[in-house]
Structure 1
Amino acid sequence: MKTDISLATLGQLVEGQLRDPSSILGPHLVDYRGSRATSIRSFLPDARAAWVIDRVSGSRRPMRRLHPAGFFEAICDASVMDSANRHNGDAALPTHSSYRIQMADKKTGTLIDMHDPYAVPSILSDYDRYLLGEGKNYRMYDTLGAQLRRVDETDGVNFAVWAPNARIVQIVGDFNSWDGRGHVAKLDQSVGIWELFVPGAKAGQKYKFRILDHHGQWTDKTDPVGFAAELPPLTASIVTDLNQHVWQDDQWMQKRRHADPMHSPMNVYECHLGSWQKGPGRTHGWLDYRELAHRLADYCRRMNFTHVELLPITEHPFTGSWGYQTVGYFAPTSRHGTPEDFMYFVDYLHQHDIGVLVDWVPAHFPKDGHGLRRFDGTALYEHADPRQGEHPDWGTMIFNFGRTEVRNFLVANALFWMDKYHIDGLRVDAVASMLYLDYSREDGQWIPNQYGGRENLEAIEFLREFNVAVHENHPGAVTIAEESTAWPGVSRPTYDGGLGFTYKWNMGWMNDTLTYMHREPVHRRFHQNDLTFSMIYAFTENFMLPLSHDEVVHGKGSLISQMPGDMWQKFGNLRLLYSYMWTHPGKKLLFMGGELGQWNEWNHDDGPDWLLLDFETHRGIQELVADLNRLVIQNPALHELDFDGQGFEWVDCMNADASTLVFLRKGREDADPLLVCCNFTPVVRHEYQVGVPVGGFWKEIFNSDSDRYGGSNVGNYPGRESLGRGHHGRPDSILVDMPPLGVTIFRPQH
């Protein structure tokens, strides 16, 4: 019998350029000698010979080689092949085929049994397709990418990728010697997804999608939903089983589900894993996730940090981007080990009561050729117009938030980290760049929205959808916005017109406070408003106070090097800055090295200078931060009402000449208030009268000038008895010695 396939079609097949190989490969009903029969066709370029094996009877039927490149065909009884219906449009869709392919390897003669990739039903259900069309398939990571799959007792990997405008998509990898001609994916035109089951492929093997793009150019692309990747500069994705780790953090996860992040203490240690600590045995001295877990958990517990926030741990080609130019959105960077190693990292920190936050970058992605840019030859993930699709500051591409599939990809990615890795929250990078169409652009370089405005309406809706999805699917998890403008309602509920974030970084507080602290103390009296202004808007958002990595890079110097004065004053000013920050309303974040009084600006190749702890002054800064964290945890007045004006009260903010501030922090009704006295000059303020809400003994519970922290030990130990006369509009008062460049905290003694 002659095949009914044209020579031209066969030529396209063996060259790997047939757009729909399933139209001729796999089982097909044919007319054979006047009767219905099934033609089984396979393209096996590595086969010397091939056979069809009936799974029921075990009979072995030889396949004819119809093309020297390795195209084989066998004619079988139509009733034997229950999968033929699917290929011919019949209503009855079987779930599996009733045959296998056996081939003799042309190099070794070894017999290899396999399932026919073109006889395997799609992993996508109709409901999956519906949700993808709606942009609501928030578990797309369970079907797209490389999914380990068992079909009729045959193990393999199901590959699926969204590339609607590609001409051809081949699966290439270790399993086919990177020759994709025999593994051309099938296109589901309804959703633009190319898919193929590859029998025998397994976890640990590397792979890519080889795409003949919209313009006829071949390119190898990393899997957008790949779960692991090679160590850069290598770029292949790695087939990975994400279900091997046995989680032991049930207690933490249960507690998180019922947590109240608004009224709980949160002391965040921002950390770049690649440079926090170094060690032998890995490239560039990078520690693996497991060793980092032990070191970081021990350190955070000793320092009383409640959470770590990791600079992006998603896979990125350029180490110098610190992770902010992500290519592998679903893959933890291989610089520190495997996905299971990272699961161990999160699990171990949870078991030691440390939450894990990660930086997430949905604003932009790099132009690297193996990544998302022009994925199928068209602007798939990004805008085609550079006025919308390219970021002028960072040389990166901007996601097209108006496209359903792109929003689905990003929201599903956010949920993926919480689902598969138990991440406790996402800090969203560069939110301001997402909200404004004219961000960092001049006139004529941007396109207004449909109403002529500068707001990115699609990005706004995406951020709301993201926040709702996170909070609905993962109660207790938090989202944090790095947003540097006065955009209203960033941390307000979406039903109230807000963006829906849990917290917003208070960039205004950070800028004003550092500007003030940079000034010589003699000049601070003229800039008191730099400190007091933050309280005008402090409760308009749920603020987190950040002294982040951005404050110690790009020529800014370290925090202590930014402080004015001689050596003693620099340390005093840094202790003052931290003490003021930890007593100001809002959750707290400090970048690594800041707790050491690090002198050098942060360098991603070096990290903190731990040898500084040989000096008492630097150990004093570390002890100060640990004690401030403890104060926040132990005193409800410093965390219960961070976002409520009832939790703060000025006592004296008008004495600009003395550069002093006095205020009360308050918790709920059963919590003791704390009196905070700040002196921003190196001059001791003796017997400074301060009004207090109740009489009696006020115990000094903290003094940043203590010799334990490297200070001069000016203070009020053990405390002060009230005078019995009012002051500052309060019924009583105490006399306080305000230490130089210091903060003292008092609590009423019952």
Structure 2
Amino acid sequence: MCAKLAVSEKVEVPGLVRNDPWLKPFEKEIIGRINRYEKRLGDINAEYGSLEGFTEAYKDLGLRFVEQKGVWVYREWAPEAYALNLIGDFNDWNRESHPLRKTEGGIWEIKLKEAELPENSRLKVHVRGRNGLHDRIPAYAHRVVQDAQTADFAMEAFRERPFEWTDGDFSAKKAKAEPIIYEAHIGMASEDGRVADFEDFRRDVLPRIASLGYNTIQLMAVMEHPYYGSFGYHVSNFFAVSSRFGTPDDFRRLVNEAHSLGIAIIIDLVHSHSVKNFAEGLNQFDGTEGQYFHPGGRGYHLAWDSMLFNYGKPEVLRFLLSNVRYWLEEYHLDGFRFDGVTSLLYFHHGDHISFDSYEKYFEDVDWDAITYLQLASTVAHQTNPDAIIIAEDMSGMPGLCRPVSEGGFGFDFRLAMGIPDYWIKMLKEKQDDDWRMGDIWHTLTNRRAGEAVIAYAESHDQAIVGDKTLAFWLMDKEMYTHMNKGSESLVIDRGVALHKMIRLISATLGGEGYLTFMGNEFGHPEWIDFPREGNNWSHHYARRQWSLARNPFLKYIWLDDFDKAMVALLKKYEVFEGGECRQLNVDEKNHVLIYERAGLVFAFNFHPERSVPDYEFWVPKNGAYKVVLSSDHSDFGGHNRVDTNLKYGVSVGSKLSLYLPNRTVVVLENEPLEV
């Protein structure tokens, strides 16, 4: 049960300001965050008894079967509608035979006996409002299906039955402490040119992720969306699993099996906007612009061509917060990546804005959106204390990953979105000789103290239509002709070497967690392009070529095996729990960058040509240093220039001397000298 939260009468100087003196000029705004949160929480407690009561809307609204009474009950919030009628297969889509009755609070209701409404019937609600007559999909629909012939979506009379969960002993606590995330899209998880489903993923991809060692899977596009090519970001039905991937129980089986393998499952939560469609979505559901969204221009995202929620409206808050709780409870999920947080926070949506001063963090801010995010993180952590809550934010808003009590938002992590952008920029604009080690260090460590981030070298964003994967930027067309192990290519040699180094330095220097998009771990070539008119509705680039990864004759296997070794290193030495990195050496002449974290020494030589036979650098501890990972090992496509059996002894006040080949990273562990 969720505890009832007390409302503070007085707020002292917030912890956010105490921890960062540069926020002092904005103390009033930060106190305002706390006060508005407490005020909204107090209103919720007064009307609903608790936040738990407030977030039970999904149990009350929508269509449900009441076993004790043997009846279907359908309830819909549509305060400004003139009339609602339930239509479907069961009444030959008659728009007059089954009217709903309007009750208190703008809620309409109808009850039908079990015999009147056969299970699996397809349904809609016919709404008469100011905008005319429209057949709509109920807002709280738990099951939405698409007609194969007409492509028309409808709600299905779906009777929830108990699912036999076997994950009672699973906890996401370890994954939350050191998240190593495998981002994936169910539909493009097959090697075939088709839309894959939950069963495909559970059978074919889940074991692969487990073998690589990832402890968290972040799934995209799980909520129903009418246009497949939207990548799941134009959601229409927020309480429904996308039927193109399978049934609710298919998804539950996937989650249950992932838990049995020790893997947490989080999904993308798209509460920053909604599809504008009338037929499938919420737009003007009750006939007015302002039911779920802001009326007028404020309710429309020009760049995304989608609708924007009114977070200040209690019923909208209830809809969204109930949605947070629903996915955690009904599907045993372990958290969310909140999409589009920057857009949600600011009236300007972050478009063409450079957040280069503290003032810009507090200009043009949507206070209601801040309160919503604070409540959302509260609901998530009350529902599941180990929930992993990640913000996709490019602004760097102070407090995003600090407790609400300090004036923060309550998220656990935010994505370090600048890191993959940096690598692509480097590969596009700079020659290898021009790489600056100080710039790499600054970019990968430039984050707010006390606010955890998830680092990544690339995600799906880097490979969507018009751009390339990291591997393709490195190797391009040579991947078509020289990825056979027997084929020599300087381009491929460089690409393989840098791909390994970029991933490892991003993971170990860039944050408190790591993420990769499926296929990037083995250098998946080319780009991502979903079926659309412009490519003749082809699935060729909306799939993953898994056979490349484990083909013993291809070089992809080297990248794949290195990823497995890297993840094993991150877990064995608990790198993300090892605190901040300690810079040991920055050498621009030799392109060498060396640092220490979690007791390990990471020595990178990015020089395109220069190997240093006896590279000396200061280390924090005396003793013996042994190599625990070398990217130059032949198992990873290297040249075995580093003797991984050697131990390097260091006495007090001495430097470690190491052979450091070009385009190589060597990781060393300290152990006491034998007496």
| Residue 607 (structure 1) aligned with residue 518 (structure 2) | no
Which amino acid letter does the alignment assign opposite residue 517 of structure 2? F
Q: Give CA deviations for 1:179-230 in whole Å, capped at 9, x if unaligned.
A: 1422111111x31110111113243221111100134x11011111111111
- Are the equivalent residues in 1 in contact too, given 2:175–2:216 (CA < 8 A)? no
Match of 1:469 among 366, 370, 379: 379
| Secondary structure of the structure 1 residue equivalent to 2:169 | helix
- Residues 524 and 659 in structure 1, CA contact (< 8 A), matched pair in contact too: no
Alignment map for 1:179-328 (pairs within 5 Å): 179-188=94-103, 190-200=104-114, 201-215=117-131, 217-231=132-146, 233-252=151-170, 255-256=171-172, 259=173, 264-278=177-191, 285-328=194-237
Deviates more, 1:521-530 or 1:171-180: 521-530
How far apart in 2 are the matches of 1:132 and 1:241?
A: 29
SS of the residue corresponding to residue 471 of structure 2 reads: helix
- 1:517 to partner: Cα distance: 4.8
Q: In structure 1, the residue corresponding to 2:627 is in which secondary structure?
A: strand
Q: Which amino acid aligns with 1:735?
A: S
Q: Deviations over 1:299-354 (max 9, x none)?
A: 11111111111112101100000111111111111112111111111111111111
Q: CA deviation at 1:239?
A: 1.8
Could you tell me which amino acid in structure 1 is paired with residue 605 of structure 2? N
Structure 2 counterpart of 1:142, from 59, 71, 91: 59
Hey, what's the Cα distance between the residues in 2 that align with 1:485 and 1:129? 35
Partner of 1:593 in structure 2?
519
Letter in 2 for 1:385: G
Once the two structures are superposed, the pairs formed by residues 386-465 of structure 1 within 5 Å of their partners are: 386=297, 388-439=298-349, 453-465=363-375
Which structure has more relative contact order (CA 8 Å, sep 6+)? It is 2
Which whole-Å deviations, capped at 9, do the CAs of 1:384-432 have from their partners, x for residues lacking one?
Answer: 121x111011100111111111111011101100000001110011100
Deviation at 1:566, TM superposition (A): 1.6
Per-residue deviation at 1:680? 1.2
Structure with greater proportional helix content:
2
Question: What does the per-residue CA deviation read over 1:513-570, in whole Å, with 9 as the maximum and x for residues that have no partner?
Answer: 4433555554334463243343243634210013210111132211112227722111
3-state SS of paired residue (1:579): helix
1:449 corresponds to which residue?
Answer: none
Structure 2: which amino acid aligns with 1:553?
I
**CA apart distance, 1:288:** 3.2
Give 1:709 shift.
0.9
1:170–1:184 Cα contact (<8 Å) kept: yes
Q: Structure 2: how far apart are the matches of 1:218 and 1:748? A: 73
Q: Which amino acid in the other structure matches residue 309 of structure 2?
A: F
Q: Report how far residue 291 of structure 1 moved.
A: 3.5
Q: Which blocks of at least 5 consecutive residues in structure 1 are unaligned?
A: 1-126, 444-451, 667-672
**Counterpart check, 1:168 vs 2:95:** no
Show the counterpart of 2:483: none
What amino acid is aligned across from residue 292 of structure 1 in structure 2?
F
* Cα deviation code 1:104-163 (max 9, x no counterpart): xxxxxxxxxxxxxxxxxxxxxxx99953999962011111111102465xx231001110
In structure 2, C-alpha distance between the alignment counterparts of 1:134 and 1:722, rounded to whole Å? 59
> What is the DSSP-based 3-state SS (H/G/I as helix, E as strand, rest coil) of the residue aligned with 1:276?
coil
Name the residue aligned to 1:708. 635
Aligned to 1:663: 595
Q: Tell me if the contact between 2:508 and 2:576 (Cα under 8 Å) persists in the aligned partners.
A: no
Give the distance between the partners of 1:195 and 1:705, measured in 2 at CA. 67
Alignment check: 8 A CA contact 1:229 1:315 kept: yes
- Secondary structure of 1:194's partner? strand
**Greater CA deviation, 231-240 or 299-308?**
231-240
- Tell me: CA distance 1:542–1:550, structure 2 relative to 1, closer, same or farther (3 Å): same
- How many angstroms apart in 2 are the aligned matches of 1:524 and 1:306? 36
2:226 and 2:50 map into 1 onto residues whose CA distance is 31
Once residues 525 and 86 of structure 2 are traced to their aligned partners in structure 1, the CA distance between those partners, rounded to angstroms, is: 51
Partner residue, 2:603? 677
CA distance in 2, matches of 1:493, 1:261: 20
* Contact 2:454 2:515 survives alignment (8 Å): yes
d(CA) in 1 for partners of 2:352 and 2:256?
Answer: 47
Q: Go from structure 1 to structure 2 and tell me whether the alpha carbon gap of 1:475 and 1:639 turns closer, same or farther (over 3 Å shift).
A: same
Aligned to 2:493: 568
Alignment-mate amino acid for residue 149 of structure 1: V
Given that residues 392 and 441 in structure 1 are in contact (C-alpha distance below 8 angstroms), is that contact kept between their aligned partners in structure 2?
no
| Corresponding residue pairs, total | 586
Distance 1:162 1:535 in 2: 48
After superposition, the C-alpha distances for 1:71-124 in whole angstroms (9 at most, x for unaligned) are xxxxxxxxxxxxxxxxxxxxxxxxxxxxxxxxxxxxxxxxxxxxxxxxxxxxxx
Of the three residues 674, 693, 697, the one matched with 2:624 is 697
Aligned to 1:43: none
- Please say if 1:640 is aligned against 2:554: no
> Cα distance 1:132–1:204, how it changes in 2: closer, same or farther (>3 A)?
farther
Offset, 1:492: 0.7
Deviates more, 1:512-521 or 1:596-605: 512-521
Give the TM-score of the pair, scaled to structure 1: 0.74
Q: Distance in 1 between matches of 2:646 and 2:619?
A: 13
1:548 is matched with 459
Residues 201-210 or 474-483, more deviating? 201-210
The letter for the 2-side match of 1:534 is: L
* Deviates most, 523-532 or 708-717: 523-532
Q: Classify 1:129/1:487 alpha carbon distance in 2 versus 1 (closer, same or farther; 3 Å).
A: closer
2:564 is the counterpart of 1:626? yes
Amino acid at match of 1:274: G
3-state SS, counterpart of residue 48 of structure 2: helix
Decide which structure has greater strand share. Answer: 1
Residue of structure 2 equivalent to 1:581: 506
- Looking at structure 2, the residues matched to 143 and 132 of structure 1 have their Cα atoms a distance apart, in angstroms, of 16
Cα deviation per residue 1:419-457 (whole Å; 9 max; x = unaligned)?
0000111001110001110125699xxxxxxxx940011
Whole-angstrom CA distance in 2 between matches of 1:307 and 1:251:
16
For residue 70 of structure 1, what is the aligned residue in structure 2? none
The 1:474/1:134 distance shift into structure 2, 3 A limit, reads closer
Is 1:744 paired with 2:666? yes
Unmatched segments (≥5 aa) in structure 2: 1-43, 354-361, 476-489, 531-538
- Equivalent-residue separation in structure 1 for 2:427 and 2:217 (angstroms): 26
Take 2:51 and 2:80, find their aligned partners in 1: how far apart are those partners? 19
Q: Deviation digits for residues 439-497 of structure 1, max 9, x if unmatched?
A: 25699xxxxxxxx9400111111001100111112110111000001211111111111
Give 2:259's match in structure 1, choosing from 350, 371, 379.
350
Secondary structure of 2:158's counterpart equals coil
1:649 alignment partner, one of 574, 582, 603: 582
CA contact (8 A) 2:190 2:200 kept: no
CA distance in 1, matches of 2:436, 2:626: 32
Quote the residue 2:292 is aligned against: 381
